[in-house]
Amino acid sequence: MAEALGSSSAEMDLDRPNLEEYLPTDSIQDSPKNLHLRDLLDISPTLTEAAGAIVDDSFTRCFKSNPPEPWNWNIYLFPLWCLGVVVRYGILFPLRVAVLAIGWIVFFSAFFPVHFLLKGYPKWRRKLERKLVEMMCSVFVASWTGVVKYHGPRPSTRPHQVFVANHTSMIDFIILEQMTAFAVIMQKHPGWVGFIQKTILESVGCIWFNRTESKDRGVVGRKLREHVQGVDNNPLLIFPEGTCVNNHYTVMFKKGAFELGCAVCPIAIKYNKIFVDAFWNSKKQSFTMHLVRLMTSWAVVCDVWYLEPQYLRPGETPIEFAERVRDMISARAGLKKVPWDGYLKYFRPSPKHTERKQQIFAESILRRLERK
Residues that bind another protein (CB under 8 A): 35-44, 46-60, 64, 283-284, 340, 344-345, 348-349, 351, 353-355, 357-359, 361-363, 365-366, 369
Q: How far is the CB of 68 from another protein (least distance, A)?
A: 14
Q: How far is the CB of 42 from another protein (least distance, A)?
A: 6
R_g (Cα) of the chain, nearest Å: 29
Nearer Cβ to another protein (109/354): 354
Nearer Cβ to another protein (77/369): 369
Nearer Cβ to another protein (131/283): 283
The distance between the two most distant Cα atoms of the chain, rounded to a whole number of Å, is: 112
Nearer Cβ to another protein (101/369): 369
Q: How far is the CB of 27 from another protein (least distance, A)?
A: 17
Q: How far is the CB of 277 from another protein (least distance, A)?
A: 15
265 close to 163: Cβ distance less than 8 angstroms: yes
CA distances from 259 to 233, 311, 359 (A): 19, 10, 33
10 Å CB burial of residue 356 (0-12, 13-18, 19+) is exposed
Q: How far is the CB of 357 from another protein (least distance, A)?
A: 6
Nearer Cβ to another protein (46/199): 46
| Closest by Cα among 36, 152, 62, 143 to 345 | 62
246 close to 168: Cβ distance less than 8 angstroms: yes
313 close to 337: Cβ distance less than 8 angstroms: no
Q: How far is the CB of 171 from another protein (least distance, A)?
A: 23
**120-134 b/e with 16+ CB inside 10 Å = b?**
eeeeebbebbbebbb
Q: Which residues contact 1 (CB under 8 A, 6 or more apart)?
A: none
Nearer Cβ to another protein (66/109): 66
Euclidean distance between CA atoms 124 and 187, whole angstroms: 29
Nearer Cβ to another protein (7/358): 358
211 close to 282: Cβ distance less than 8 angstroms: no
Euclidean distance between CA atoms 265 and 279, whole angstroms: 23
Q: How far is the CB of 367 from another protein (least distance, A)?
A: 12
